[in-house]
Amino acid sequence: MGEYDFKTGKWTINWENIHWGVRNVKTLMEWWGHHPALYAIEPANEPWDKSDLNVLKDYYRMARDVVRGINPDVKFVFHESFHRSAKVWNDLFPDDDMENVILDTHPYMAFWTSEDHVFDTASGYCAKYQEELFDSDTTSIKYPMWAGEWSLATDVCAFWLNGFNDFRDPYTKPCKWVDCPYSYMPEPYGVDFDRSAESIGPYGTFPYS
């Protein structure tokens, strides 16, 4: 999308990049747009929650025009940029022009809930969504909604979960050290790392932590 200034919260938009993305959607649709296995296309996976939403919406509209112009039967799927909100998205397309449009959301419960036992995770998942069913800003979303990515993972203890040797989110429960397993592949294919080293990089730094 461009360059983001963490101090000011302002974007410098790179429209060349955005139009490059639209051209790639066009190329994919020209190659595969009429293939019988193609059911839907989503032009961006998990746009950042700090994305400029007006620019993102323009990108979605341009991408949908491309998809619809080549094969209007292909469903156009857009991710909600971590804003699952009718207030944010109901103006993306007019009420009379929503055919084959799907809103995509990614409910990874390890970031949201802290169940006491792994067997409780599924019920916690349901409870979270039942809670949101009573949230008018969610129920007022006018598009069909898909859970395009999800997991019943129970915690965020994995140290590489959010970057190189890095973590971003507070642990939902105490985490314990678990040694990395050895490769099941024989030499010379089963390459291991230096287990005697005190620490091994590279390391990431979450930019706004």
**What CATH number has the domain bearing residue 47?**
3.20.20.80
Considering the domain architecture, whether residues 140 and 164 belong to the same structural domain is answered as no
Considering the domain architecture, whether residues 193 and 168 belong to the same structural domain is answered as yes
Q: What's the pLDDT tens digit per position in 84-141?
A: 899 999 999 999 999 999 999 998 877 776 677 777 777 777 777 666 666 778 878 9
Give the pLDDT band (50/70/90) at residue 193: confident
Q: Nearest CA to 103 among 145, 151, 75? A: 145
Alpha-carbon separation of residue 17 from 6, 13, 23, 24 (angstroms): 20, 9, 10, 11
Rounded average pLDDT over 142-153? 88
Give the pLDDT band (50/70/90) at residue 156: confident
As a whole number of Å, the end-to-end CA separation of the chain is 22
Average pLDDT of the chain is 86
Q: Over 70: is that where the pLDDT of 162 sits?
A: no
Longest dimension (CA), the chain: 64
pLDDT greater at residue 171 or residue 191: 191
pLDDT at 209 (0 to 100): 40
Instruction: Tell me which of 147, 169, 201 is where a domain ends.
Output: 147
pLDDT at 205 (0 to 100): 59
Considering the domain architecture, whether residues 76 and 162 belong to the same structural domain is answered as no
pLDDT at 199 (0 to 100): 75
Considering the domain architecture, whether residues 161 and 137 belong to the same structural domain is answered as no
Instruction: Tell me which of 95, 125, 147 is where a domain ends.
Output: 147
Residue 200: exposure state from Cβ atoms within 10 A (0-12, 13-18, ≥19)? exposed
Q: Tell me which DSSP letter residue 110 carries.
A: G
Q: What's the pLDDT tens digit per position in 36-54?
A: 999 999 999 999 999 999 9
Count of structural domains, the chain: 2
Considering the domain architecture, whether residues 13 and 52 belong to the same structural domain is answered as yes
Considering the domain architecture, whether residues 100 and 173 belong to the same structural domain is answered as no
Considering the domain architecture, whether residues 170 and 126 belong to the same structural domain is answered as no
Name residue 107's amino acid.
Answer: P
Place of tokens 């190189």: 164
Q: Tell me which DSSP letter residue 101 carries.
A: E
Percent of the chain with pLDDT over 70: 86
Considering the domain architecture, whether residues 100 and 142 belong to the same structural domain is answered as yes
Which residues span the domain enclosing 50? 2-147
Considering the domain architecture, whether residues 74 and 121 belong to the same structural domain is answered as yes
| Tokens matching residue 206 | 């979450």
pLDDT greater at residue 182 or residue 113: 182
pLDDT at 166 (0 to 100): 61
Considering the domain architecture, whether residues 90 and 127 belong to the same structural domain is answered as yes
pLDDT at 148 (0 to 100): 92
Considering the domain architecture, whether residues 44 and 136 belong to the same structural domain is answered as yes
Instruction: Tell me which of 108, 128, 147 is where a domain ends.
Output: 147
pLDDT at 208 (0 to 100): 41
Alpha-carbon separation of residue 123 from 10, 111, 120 (angstroms): 40, 15, 5
pLDDT at 134 (0 to 100): 62
Q: Count other Cβ atoms within 10 Å, centred on residue 181.
A: 6
Considering the domain architecture, whether residues 39 and 118 belong to the same structural domain is answered as yes
Residues with Cβ within 8 Å of 197's Cβ and at least 6 positions away in sequence, in order, are: none
Q: What's the pLDDT tens digit per position in 18-33?
A: 999 999 999 999 999 9
| Tokens matching residue 25 | 């959607």
